[in-house]
Amino acid sequence: RLAALRAQQAARKEITRYDGLCRRIDPKEAAERAKTESHVVRQKVPDEGVVALDDLVYGHIEWPLSALEDQVLLKSDGFPTYHLAVVVDDHVMGITHVLRGEDWLPSTPKHLLIWRAFGWTVPPHAHVPNVLGPDGKKLSKRHGATKVEEFRAQGYLPAAMVNYLALIGWASGTEEEIFSVDELIQRWRIDHVHRAGGKWDRARLDWFDGVYIRKLTPDELMRELEPFLPAEWDRALVRKAIPLIQPRMRTLVEGRDMIAFLFSDEVQIDRSVLVGKKHQPEEIERALTKSAVVLRYLEPFSSSAIEHGLRGIAEELEWKVRDSTEPVRVAVTGKTEGPPLWESLELLGKEKTLARIERAEALLNGGGPS
């Protein structure tokens, strides 16, 4: 019957709701029928008046009782509905303030009626803005990672995550953006919460995480990186690389990936990336060959000596330094961006550096895998 009723109401473009049929059943008859018939227990809602709330974010809100149906409290299996359970649970737990997403506003009058039916004091309520995706819709799985565990696995620091989330839908009242948890506790005020939802911005979260990473000492960063490092990686070498990657990191995983080339026997090279767009393959091969000759005879194989030698190649070729060194970077790391090149080559060592440049030369000649 209820399904047919809802279908009829929907066809008439009415709000789908219970029609109060069982209100007219005599209480004695209802009690007798409930012994053998499947049934639910509903709250009888007055036909007239309003239920009101002074929300800490939205201010005074009223809902006409005529728009509310007789809500189900106990289902036919005897279990309570969520709306009954959440009110009872909040009361028993001694909840002092109810803060929840703005999407719970439509359910609020149902909860208020239950609070008042029990004669309990309604705690202050605040309906805070939802976090929205870039498309302006409520953040969900379709927008990517949404679980805290997923962000932790991607290498975001908890402190950065908390700081970033605190500023979505809330304003500090100052130009400052970086706050510790203790500072947030001291500064946070409900009257600074916006009604409009704040959009999720991954680039902004990356910026916050980078700030927090740069605030760490090298030893602290090493400890944070540890869970993300393969067991076989030389920790002493990782520790030496930290000063190179820390200023450039946005996440712990990004930092790990920046130095992965130090611990692999080979790196994957894309021939088109190796050649680039400014020069011909034979010109890039010539630049690599000259670089290898210079690097082979450097003693010691130090960052300063490497820089001096490779800058000399740029002058000899009459190229910009970046144009002549980028093929070396791609040959050695597989990427066009990364930690400072001179220091990276020193950490990698002469033998591996020359072997990778030789492999890149072979690739340009069509004699090696990419």
Overall size of the chain counted in residues? 370
Q: Reduce the DSSP state of residue 125 to 3 states and report it.
A: strand
Identify the active-site residue in 35, 141, 147, 277: 141
Count of domains forming the chain: 5
Per-residue pLDDT band for 367 (boundaries 50, 70, 90) equals low
Across the strands, what pairs with 62? 52
> Which of 84, 102, 128 is the last residue before a domain boundary?
128
Q: What is the mean pLDDT of the chain?
A: 93
Per-residue pLDDT band for 11 (boundaries 50, 70, 90) equals confident
Pair (243, 304) in one structural domain: no
Q: Is 105 exposed, middle or buried (0-12, 13-18, 19+ CB in 10 A)?
A: middle
Pair (244, 328) in one structural domain: no
Pair (171, 207) in one structural domain: yes
Residue 356 counted as domain residue: yes
Residue 359 counted as domain residue: yes
Residue pLDDT, tens place only, 190-213: 999 989 888 899 999 999 999 999
Residue 369 counted as domain residue: no
Across the strands, what pairs with 50? 64
Pair (355, 312) in one structural domain: yes
Q: What is the CATH number of the domain that holds 44?
A: 3.40.50.620
Residue pLDDT, tens place only, 15-49: 777 776 778 888 899 899 999 999 999 999 998 99
> Which of 105, 128, 151 is the last residue before a domain boundary?
128
Look up residue 361 and give its two tokens: 């030369």
Active site residue 199: no
Pair (209, 233) in one structural domain: no
Pair (341, 321) in one structural domain: yes
Residue 240 counted as domain residue: yes
Pair (13, 56) in one structural domain: no
Do the beta carbons of residue 323 and residue 279 sit within 8 Å?
A: yes
Pair (164, 180) in one structural domain: yes
Residue 174 counted as domain residue: yes
Pair (123, 206) in one structural domain: no
Return d(Cα 125, Cα 59) in angstroms, integer.
Answer: 10
Pair (275, 354) in one structural domain: yes
330: containing domain: 271-364
Residue 370 counted as domain residue: no
Do the beta carbons of residue 41 and residue 16 sit within 8 Å?
A: no
Return d(Cα 370, Cα 160) in angstroms, integer.
Answer: 38
* Whole-number pLDDT of residue 369: 52
Do the beta carbons of residue 330 and residue 269 sit within 8 Å?
A: yes
Return d(Cα 223, Cα 214) in angstroms, integer.
Answer: 14
13 dihedral zone (left: phi>0; alpha: psi -120 to 50; beta): left
Pair (45, 30) in one structural domain: no
Residue 135 counted as domain residue: no
Residue pLDDT, tens place only, 123-158: 999 999 998 888 888 888 777 767 889 999 999 999
Per-residue pLDDT band for 289 (boundaries 50, 70, 90) equals very high
Q: What is the CATH number of the domain that holds 317?
A: 1.10.10.350
Pair (78, 96) in one structural domain: yes
Q: Which H or E run includes 238?
A: helix 235-245
Q: Which H or E run includes 128?
A: strand 125-128
Residue 134 counted as domain residue: no
Return d(Cα 163, Cα 210) in angstroms, integer.
Answer: 12
Q: Reduce the DSSP state of residue 127 to 3 states and report it.
A: strand
